[in-house]
Structure formats: structure tokens, C-alpha cells
């Protein structure tokens, strides 16, 4: 298990991370969300023991086998895939034969275009990124840390990465990753920590977070008299997107029933969808709040 | 074998095979061979092997030259190696797997493996050359040098190389692009050249009669890498005793250990720093 207990980090008066607390257990995925400079990489660096926290405690087993993919991707360009993967594997204590076997399996699984004897400089950016991911995954890490793993990947390769991460989760790996892509957070995370300027603005399971906000979003399509909802007390925001469709943000979730009754008075409407805000919307709202 | 030792050996192996496959390594290995071959072919080899002063003088002059040569080759090599990790943007990833200490030790062990390989290669080459040219002068010459001096000279060579490598690592870890490699090797190279010139100057006529200078040299012999480069010629000329020389080596090793601990700390800090910084200032900074 990994535990951050009220962890803070200051750099010459600048607060990079403030009072961060979370727990991560075997087979769980935690995502760190935040803008650039929110403190995600600093959190990873503290977890990896590159830097010491100014305050608080980090509990983790020192003998954890860690797979880390930093935000700045890199490989030895002049070396072949085989030679550097064998090198990384040997640093993890894996034998050469086993490493070669796993490398071939992972290259097939992640659909890397190229041969193991190819030099990294001959690979495309996406393929090189996949090779780096293999370097983190092939030795079955206990803890996998991925800093912006989806940046630079097309949707097909992003899906391959998601599959690989979920497979690692199944085998009991603790996974922590940062991303700006909320769709992937929804697909992967068990637990979410949202940071803004180093402060935790939101944390919990996806279910908890959605429940906290409730079904406060409402999409209406096919109702012509949308202007009548303007200025109503129960409505926080009304965005009319076309002549007969609008997106509403409700102050009170129960107000949705009133609107439903109103818009269906005249009969059928094709779309009335009262739903949870997306993580993206929650994120933007929380960032706005924290900047006030 | 424990896990850390396995990691250290993996780094050393990677370093060794990477360098041994490089063209530049073999160029640097082959250049002295041309000089050795020319020596066998053209030098006047009527050496008086019974003149121990002459033997000592030649040995005393050769050791700083050899130390300079080996340090010159391997300082550049380790700077390149650290720069490769940094410019390949792999330092963070490597640091998450291997401690800075194992990385430094592994790289240095790799360098020592290359050095050993180079020395063995030279011995085989000289042996073959002696057979082909029917000239055994080099082996006869070495057989006339005192064994205590040979052992000390080899130890001093390893100590000199160690301190120059540790020093280079401290500068090289702040490299952010390959154009800075030469800047990282400059401070150890300057120091190396200065000590090299000092050790040659010592043989200038009349220099060994200046007592004040000798006293100063005795004092500086305690500090690595000055001591490790100066003591072999001083020993060869009989100006310092074996006991004094070996005692300075022990003191030097203690100082080296302190500097080495500092260099691990600086190496870790430097590898994780991505900002472009002045290599000279960062390398000399006390952390």
C-alpha cells in the first residue's frame, strides 16, 4: 500500500504541493488531474523519493518494483530496441531470455511496428513511446507511475495503452497516472485526486465525485420556448445552442422535474437528458473556484 | 549476489559494451600503439639496464604520461556516457530503477573494465611486437623496476582515474545538450594538465635541489589527484620513501571517499535537473 499523509512541498517559498493525502492499494488505479504546474510531477517525484517532502509523510515499501514513465519521453536513440530493453530488464533483475520473450509478447500486444533489432531512431514517435511503455510494463511492476501517458498517442494507440494498464491492474499492480484527458480518467480510475496550484480541490472515487455534483446538467432538444427559462431561480446557467436546443446547469437537481413537466406540457420532445456533469466540466469549475 | 550489486554490474556491462563497440574508443586505443611501434622500430635501444638512476628516471617520467593518457581517454568517455543518459531524457527513468550510487559505481566499473581491457591489449601487442622484432627491451626494462614502485604506480593510476572520473561526473550531470560535453570535461582536463606539467617539471635540472619546493610538493601529495600523479615520479627518483608514498595514498583515499560521497549527491541532483545551467558554477557549488 502507498499512503500520502498531509504531504506538502515548498520550493523557496513557492508551494508546489499542499497537504496532499491519499491511499493506493494493490490492483487500484489513481489518477492525478490538474493543470500544468498543479503539482502532479512533484507528487510523482516525492513518491519516487527523488525529492523529500517539506511536511507530511509518505509510506511505501522500499523494495517496490517501480515502472515509471516520465512526462519527458526518452530512449537511447542509437541503440536497438533489444539492447536497451535487455538493459532495463537487467536493472530490474530479469534474465536475458525472459526479457526477450516478454519484449516480443509486449511488442505484439502494443502493436509496435518494427523489429527488435531496429534502432530507436528509426521508429516513429508513437512507436518509440510504446517501446518506452514496454520498458515500464514488461517486468510486472508492483507500482506503475505514468506521467501524461496519453500525450502524443492517437485514439487507437490510446486504447491499446488502456488495455495494457487494465491488464496490469488485474495482475495486482498499483497504478498512478496523470492526464488532461478526462475521458481516459473515466475509463481507468478507481480514485481521482484533482489538484489546482498544489492544493487538493477534489478527491474520491468517480461515483463519489459524481454524486457530490448530482445530475445538475440538463440537455433539452426540440423545445421552442427556451427563453422562458432565463433568469429562473433554479437555473444557474442557460446556454441556448440553437433555436430549439439548450444546455442548462441547475442550482437544484430537483428543479429538473419542474422543467420536465413544463417542456412536456405541449407534448413530445426528442431529448430531455438530466445528467451528471462530465469530469471535464467538474475540473473547470473546480479550477475556477480555486482561482477566486 | 544482492540486487544492488546486480544492478551495478548491469550498468557496468552496458557501459563497457557501448564503449567497446564505438569507433572513437578504438581510435584512442590505437594511437599509442603507433608510438610504441615507432619506439621499437626507431629508438636507440642500447639501454644500460644496470643504471638504476636511468631506469627510475624513465619510469618516473612514463607514469605521469600514462596516467595522463588514460585519464584523458576515460574522462571524455564518462562525460559522454552521463550526457547520453541526460540528453536521451532517460535520467528520471533510470533514477527510478537504480540509485545514483549504483549508477556512478557501475559507470566507473565499466570504465575500469575498459582500462583493464586496454592494458591487456597493449601487453599482448607489445609481446607480439617483441617476438616479431626480436626485441625484448620493454620487458627487460620493467623487470628492472622495483616491484613496490610498480604496484604503487598502478594503484596511483587507478586512484587518479577515479578522482578525475568522479569530478567529471559532477560537471557532466548538468549537461542539457551534447554541445556542453566539452565544458564538462574542461575543469578535470585543466587540472590533469597542470599536475602533469608539475610532474614533468620536477625532472627539470636543479628542481629537486630546491628544498622549499620539495616541502610544498610533499604537502600537496596528500591531496588527490595531485598526490596520485606526483608521488610515483617522486618515489622513482628516491625523493620520498615508500612508507611516505603509501601513507599519502591512504590519506588520499580518505579524501577521495569524502569527495565521492559529495559527487553522488551532486550527480543525483544534476541528473534530475532539466533547466539549462552554467556547468562550471553548478559543478563547483557546495551542496
What percent of chain B stands above pLDDT 90?
A: 22
CB pairs under 8 A between A and B: 54
Confidence of residue A281 (pLDDT cuts 50, 70, 90): confident
Q: How far is B71 from chain A (nearest CA, A)?
A: 26
Over residues A194-241, the pLDDT tens digits come to: 998 889 999 999 899 988 888 999 999 988 888 888 888 888 888 988
Over residues B160-206, the pLDDT tens digits come to: 999 999 989 988 988 888 888 888 888 888 888 888 887 777 665 55
Identify which of B11, B18, B88 has the shortest CB distance to residue A74.
Answer: B88
Answer yes or no: are the C-beta atoms of B14 and A87 closer than 8 Å. yes
Cell matching residue A116: 527488435
Over residues A169-191, the pLDDT tens digits come to: 999 999 999 988 888 898 899 99
ipTM for the predicted complex comes to 0.83
B238 CB-near residues (< 8 Å, 6+ apart): B56
Q: How far is A200 from chain B (nearest CA, A)?
A: 25
The whole model's pTM is what? 0.84
Map out the domains of chain B as residue ranges: 7-284
Residue A135 contacts B, CB cutoff 8 Å = yes
Cα gap B84→B91, rounded to integer Å: 9
B40: pLDDT strictly greater than 60: yes
Cα gap A11→A13, rounded to integer Å: 5
What percent of chain A stands above pLDDT 70?
A: 100
Note the pLDDT of residue B9: 95
B207: pLDDT strictly greater than 60: no
**Stronger pLDDT, B154 or B49, i.e. the higher one:** B154
Confidence of residue A9 (pLDDT cuts 50, 70, 90): very high
Instruction: State whether B6 and A68 contact (CB < 8 Å).
Output: no
Average pLDDT over residues B250-267: 89
Confidence of residue B103 (pLDDT cuts 50, 70, 90): very high
- Using alpha carbons, list the distances in angstroms from residue B16 to A104, B168, B265: 26, 18, 24
Q: How far is A76 from chain B (nearest CA, A)?
A: 6
- Please choose, from the candidates B111, B84, B273, the residue with its C-alpha nearest in 3D space to the C-alpha of residue B181: B84
- Please choose, from the candidates B161, B5, B269, B211, the residue with its C-alpha nearest in 3D space to the C-alpha of residue A91: B5
Average pLDDT over residues A84-112: 92
Average pLDDT over residues A239-267: 88
Confidence of residue A21 (pLDDT cuts 50, 70, 90): very high
Note the pLDDT of residue B213: 66
**Stronger pLDDT, A34 or B43, i.e. the higher one:** A34
Confidence of residue B219 (pLDDT cuts 50, 70, 90): confident
B95 interaction partners in chain A (CB closer than 8 Å): 48, 50
Strands A174-179 and A29-34: parallel
Average pLDDT over residues A105-134: 89
- Please choose, from the candidates A144, A187, A119, A186, the residue with its C-alpha nearest in 3D space to the C-alpha of residue A47: A144
Confidence of residue A119 (pLDDT cuts 50, 70, 90): very high
Answer yes or no: are the C-beta atoms of A143 and A172 closer than 8 Å. no
DSSP string, A111-156: T--S-TTSBGGGS-HHHHHHHHHHHHHTT--SEEEEESTTTT--HH
Amino acid at each position: 500500500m502507498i499512503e500520502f499523509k498531509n504531504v506538502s512541498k515548498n520550493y523557496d517559498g513557492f508551494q508546489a504541493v499542499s497537504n496532499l493525502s491519499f491511499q493506493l492499494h494493490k490492483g487500484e488505479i489513481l489518477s492525478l488531474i490538474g493543470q500544468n504546474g498543479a503539482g502532479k510531477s512533484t507528487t510523482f517525484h516525492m513518491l519516487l523519493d527523488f525529492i523529500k517532502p517539506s511536511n507530511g509523510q509518505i509510506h511505501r515499501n522500499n523494495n517496490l518494483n517501480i515502472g515509471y514513465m516520465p512526462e519527458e519521453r526518452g530512449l537511447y536513440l542509437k541503440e536497438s530496441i533489444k539492447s536497451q530493453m535487455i538493459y532495463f530488464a537487467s536493472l530490474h533483475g530479469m534474465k536475458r531470455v525472459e526479457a526477450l520473450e516478454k519484449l516480443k509478447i509486449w511488442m505484439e500486444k502494443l502493436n509496435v511496428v518494427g523489429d527488435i533489432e531496429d534502432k530507436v531512431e528509426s521508429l516513429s514517435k508513437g512507436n518509440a513511446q510504446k517501446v518506452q511503455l514496454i520498458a515500464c510494463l514488461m517486468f510486472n511492476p508492483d507500482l506503475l507511475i505514468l506521467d501524461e501517458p496519453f500525450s502524443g498517442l492517437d485514439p487507437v494507440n490510446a486504447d491499446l495503452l488502456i488495455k495494457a494498464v487494465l491488464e496490469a491492474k488485474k495482475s495486482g499492480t498499483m497504478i498512478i497516472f496523470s492526464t488532461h484527458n478526462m475521458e481516459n480518467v473515466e475509463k481507468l480510475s478507481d480514485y481521482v485526486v484533482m489538484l489546482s496550484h498544489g492544493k487538493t480541490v477534489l478527491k474520491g472515487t468517480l461515483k463519489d465525485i459524481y454524486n457530490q455534483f448530482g445530475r445538475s446538467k440538463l440537455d433539452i432538444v426540440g423545445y421552442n420556448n427556451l427563453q422562458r427559462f432565463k433568469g429562473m431561480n433554479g437555473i444557474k446557467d442557460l446556454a441556448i445552442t440553437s433555436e430549439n436546443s439548450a444546455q442548462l446547469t441547475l442550482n437544484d437537481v430537483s428543479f429538473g422535474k419542474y422543467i420536465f413537466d413544463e417542456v412536456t406540457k405541449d407534448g413530445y420532445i426528442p431529448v430531455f437528458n438530466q445528467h451528471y456533469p462530465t469530469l471535464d466540466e467538474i475540473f473547470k469549475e473546480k479550477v475556477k473556484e480555486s482561482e477566486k | 549476489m544482492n540486487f544492488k550489486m546486480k544492478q551495478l554490474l548491469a550498468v557496468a556491462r552496458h557501459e563497457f559494451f557501448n564503449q567497446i563497440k564505438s569507433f572513437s574508443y578504438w581510435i584512442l586505443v590505437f594511437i599509442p600503439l603507433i608510438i610504441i611501434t615507432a619506439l621499437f622500430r626507431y629508438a636507440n635501444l642500447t639501454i644500460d639496464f644496470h643504471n638504476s638512476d636511468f631506469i627510475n628516471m624513465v619510469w618516473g617520467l612514463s607514469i605521469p604520461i600514462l596516467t595522463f593518457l588514460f585519464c584523458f581517454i576515460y574522462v571524455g568517455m564518462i562525460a559522454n556516457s552521463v550526457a547520453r543518459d541526460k540528453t536521451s531524457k532517460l535520467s528520471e527513468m533510470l533514477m527510478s530503477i537504480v540509485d545514483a550510487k549504483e549508477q556512478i559505481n557501475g559507470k566507473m566499473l565499466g570504465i575500469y573494465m575498459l582500462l583493464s581491457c586496454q592494458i591487456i591489449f597493449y601487453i599482448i601487442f607489445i609481446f607480439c611486437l617483441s617476438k616479431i622484432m626480436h626485441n625484448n627491451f620493454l620487458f627487460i626494462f620493467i623487470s628492472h623496476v622495483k616491484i613496490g614502485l610498480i604496484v604503487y604506480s598502478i594503484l596511483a593510476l587507478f586512484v587518479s582515474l577515479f578522482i578525475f572520473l568522479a569530478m567529471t561526473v559532477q560537471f557532466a550531470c548538468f549537461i542539457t545538450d551534447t554541445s556542453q560535453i566539452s565544458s564538462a570535461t574542461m575543469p578535470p582536463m585543466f587540472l590533469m594538465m597542470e599536475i602533469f606539467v608539475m610532474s614533468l617539471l620536477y625532472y627539470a635540472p636543479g628542481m629537486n635541489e630546491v628544498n622549499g619546493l620539495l616541502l610544498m610538493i610533499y604537502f600537496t601529495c596528500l591531496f588527490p589527484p595531485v598526490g596520485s600523479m606526483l608521488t610515483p615520479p617522486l618515489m622513482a627518483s628516491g625523493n620520498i620513501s615508500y612508507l611516505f608514498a603509501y601513507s599519502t595514498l591512504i590519506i588520499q583515499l580518505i579524501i577521495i571517499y569524502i569527495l565521492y560521497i559529495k559527487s553522488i549527491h551532486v550527480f543525483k541532483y544534476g541528473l534530475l535537473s532539466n533547466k539549462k545551467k552554467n556547468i562550471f558554477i553548478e559543478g563547483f557549488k557546495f551542496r
